[in-house]
Amino acid sequence: MRTRFAPSPTGFLHVGGLRTALYAYLIAKQTKGKFLLRIEDTDQERSVPGAVENILSTLHWAGLHPDEGVMMRKGIMAQEGTKGPYIQSERTEIYKKYADELLAKGLAYPCFCTPERLTKMRDDQSARKQAPMYDRHCLSLPKKEIEQRLAKGDPHVLRLHVPHERTITYEDEIRGAMSFQGHTIDDQVLLKSDGFPTYHLAHVVDDHLMEIDLVIRGEEWLSSTPKHLLLFELFGWTPPKYAHVPLLLNKDRTKLSKRQSAVAAEDYIKEGYLPEALLNFLALLGWNPGSEQEMFSLPELAEAFSLERVQKAGAIFDTEKLLWLQGQWIRRLSPQDFAERIRPMVVARFPDADQDPHFPERAALIQGRVTFFRETPEMLGFFYEEPKVTMGLLANPKQKVTPELLPKVLKALAKTLDLLPDNKWTIDTLKEAVQKTMKKEELGQGQILWPLRAALTGLPFSPGAYEVAAALGKTATMARLVSAQKIAA
């Protein structure tokens, strides 16, 4: 299948747009088809400089590389394929040709109504509690008047003449049978007064000429679908299949908004989310795999995804689930990959880490404890500088470690560990020795392990005490225990 993602460059790519792109990409891949990227920039007033580049870089980051259309090649924007241009502002002559065809056949008509008249018309309809629709004032203008006004160059738009007596039906790939009464469909503007087409005309022409088989888009376009199907019919073209995906919702079931959540994919990239985590999360927003599996790689999604299992109801954007997936994907990285990814940011703060032959093993200690790479310098800092240990950290009421008990615990630890020879300084021997002391001194596990870990790392959260002591080595461990004893004295 040939599918497409066709965003408007009105700002950073929305997470809902990224989900739409993902679904279109998955269908293309599982059918061995083509995923096309088209930029719909006919609304020039709303176009934002740099938005196209952001869309491309976000798709590239996510691994959703277009097979055709607008893409990045070695950091340079390019258009590749035989059906371009793939930027709508470069296709205006194509749209005008088809708009003129509709006008010549009497299937569209010029409208000279001023913005002021249209505003009053909508206000009056609202006061009467009617749905806002064009009242077809210009449809009944005499032919001679129309010709004169066109000859004078009076500002006008071109509107679609919708047959009100018709019922338009189609089968949505997600929502099933859909039906629309012609009298409820507005005579939509096709060409604006500046000569640029509206979305309604441009995307229909493009989807036909670019041979798109399936259009996946948000449910907000559902009410416009009959206009688009009518245009395909009037041109004598076979329409693509349509699938309207559910909205993304805040926890209070309102439409996802930046007042409650970050809505730009860029925000999640800057936050440090892995593309695997964000795509996994977005795929599950509205789609049920029909199994207990929650983690899906991109190839796994391409194999498992189906529009039949996309729900009609809105999907709650639960960032707690996203955080969980982020942590899970961090754990899935190979230890070597994890170490290489975090090394630059750790070295930036602790230059000694660059020449540390034990860096991979030390990185492995924290892989299961971090959610974002940015947390790693602080988590590994105790390997490269003396930790800042305080009495408040060493003593812990929750672990029943009182200031009065602390000197006894640290003295027992120092005495026990000092007896271990360097060649037997391993996690297992450390654990065995400390547990014997724990039993002998009648101490609870938290009472002995909390002070040990706090003394070695200076952190309230860190890898386990035995792992840290083994990684630090005997000399550093003993020195830090001596320092902690001075603080507790």
Active site residues: 258
In the chain, what is the straight-line distance between the N-terminal and C-terminal CA atoms, in Å?
74
According to DSSP, residue 369 is labeled: G
- Cβ-based neighbour number of residue 480 at 10 Å: 24
Please report, as a single letter, which amino acid is at residue 113.
C
Q: What angle is formed at CA 251 by the lines to CA 246 and CA 252, rounded to 5 degrees? A: 95
Cα 334 to chain centroid distance, Å, stands at 24
Give the DSSP H or E segment for 343. Answer: helix 335-349
Residue 156, token pair as written in the block: 């006008």
E strand intervals along 202-259: 214-218, 241-245, 248-249
Alpha-carbon dihedral of residues 426, 432, 435, 437, nearest 10 degrees?
Answer: -90
413, 378 in Cβ contact below 8 A? no
CA–CA gap between residue 4 and residue 25 (Å, rounded) = 8
Helix (H, G, I), strand (E, B) or coil at 287: strand
Where on the phi/psi map is residue 75: left (φ > 0), alpha (ψ -120 to 50), or beta? Answer: left
Distances (CA, A) of 454 to 8, 11, 388: 53, 47, 10
